[in-house]
Amino acid sequence: MIDIYAGNTAAKIITEQGFTPDLFSSFLGASGGPKWFTLFGLDKYIFGEFFKHRTSPLNLIGSSAGAFRAACFSQHDPVAAIERLAKSYSETRYSSNKPTPEEITTKARALLEDVFGNNGVTEIINNPIFKAHFIVAKSNGLVASELKALQLLGLSKSYLTNRVNRRFLNKQYERFIFQAPNSDLALEDSYQFKTTQLDLNKDNLKDALLASGSIPLVMQGIKNITGAPAGMYRDGGIVDYHFDLKINNPGLILYPHFNSEPKAGWFDKNLKRKVASQNYDNVVMITPSKQFIAGLPYGKIPDRNDFTDLDAYTRIKYWRTVFSETEKLADAFDQSISNQKIDLKIIS
């Protein structure tokens, strides 16, 4: 049902000490829109059981969908919060199969209200254990424009320059990390994106989270987030789609992911470029097996194309089936760690 991958250091530590919650000091959540539905059962188990009695801080680092998950995990009842997110997101309906960026953004803001309820923002900011970090891409030049033609030109430039060298993107994008107060997160990025870390507060949290999921061309960008430099902020996955950076905090990094081949940034999706193995030395990835995915409806995991390829009734039914099936992944993970029979695959 599941595959567990580990970097060399992570594999050595787990082999010697077993697979226990206290080994981990960070948690990663990738971009990918509805693809994260494949992790729904694991998410509920990890934060409802595995980390339930945790007393030391855990950095939750996410971009786009991963940031939304982090916002759920750092609320007082993480399981209830992730269930609200799954229900609200999966049951979203648009006026047509080609909704405008304005409509999608409006629906996303409504989703935030479902996820946060009355106290979610305060709970996230004040959580002493689960510390949320939302990655956002400040967009400069043409990619900052809300005019479709100009934004397309800017994105085309990004695509072409990224094919030459990912580092060239740092002229168009900056990484902003909106983080829980008193965060100790320390990053190292070989691609040298300018990185700014700012504390979350009640005035910027919703905009920062929405910006982290604001896909270019699909949604409106978020301008002038409170407390951040003036400008346009967009999807964090542009810079950190599945992550290719080094987290320098002590401890291992737990990374449930929907496949075993992470891509650094949004523009790497269709490239063969691999992430640097040294950045995954202390990472443990949990992924659904190929056999599990083959057994899902349509033989695939959910994705944004389902909004246009399927009518709303069929899409929602399909996604509900995926939610139900992912409980099997949670059971498989629970069995593995309960028996301490971990078949680790080395990340190379």
- 21: amino acid identity, one letter: P
> pLDDT at position 342, please?
87
Indicate if the pLDDT at residue 15 is higher than 90.
yes
**8 A C-beta contact, residue 155 and residue 143:** yes
pLDDT band at 348 (very low <50, low <70, confident <90, very high): confident
- 225: amino acid identity, one letter: I
Strands 283-288 and 252-256: parallel
| Mean pLDDT confidence for 186-213 | 97
pLDDT, tens digit, for every residue of 139-191?
999 999 999 999 999 999 999 999 999 999 999 999 999 999 999 999 999 99
| Mean pLDDT confidence for 15-42 | 97
CA 287 to chain centre: 14
196 closest CA partner among 236, 156, 167, 159: 236
Higher-confidence position of 348 and 79: 79
Which residues lie closer than 8 Å to 202 by C-beta, 6 or more apart? 121, 122, 125
pLDDT, tens digit, for every residue of 259-279?
999 999 999 999 999 999 999
Please state, in angstroms and rounded to a whole number, the distance separating the CA atoms of residues 217 and 12: 44
The model carries a pTM of 0.97
> pLDDT at position 341, please?
83
Please state, in angstroms and rounded to a whole number, the distance separating the CA atoms of residues 6 and 15: 11
In percent, the amount of the chain with pLDDT more than 90 equals 97
C-alpha distance from residue 60 to each of 129, 144, 152, 337 (Å): 10, 27, 32, 21
**8 A C-beta contact, residue 102 and residue 68:** no
**8 A C-beta contact, residue 248 and residue 279:** no
The mean of the pLDDT values for the chain is 96
For 41, the token pair is 């059962």
Indicate if the pLDDT at residue 320 is higher than 90.
yes
> pLDDT at position 112, please?
96
**Alpha-carbon dihedral sign for residues 141, 142, 143, 147:** positive
> pLDDT at position 106, please?
97
| Mean pLDDT confidence for 88-99 | 93
Give Dmax over CA atoms of the chain in angstroms: 56
Indicate if the pLDDT at residue 97 is higher than 90.
no
> pLDDT at position 213, please?
97
> pLDDT at position 244, please?
97
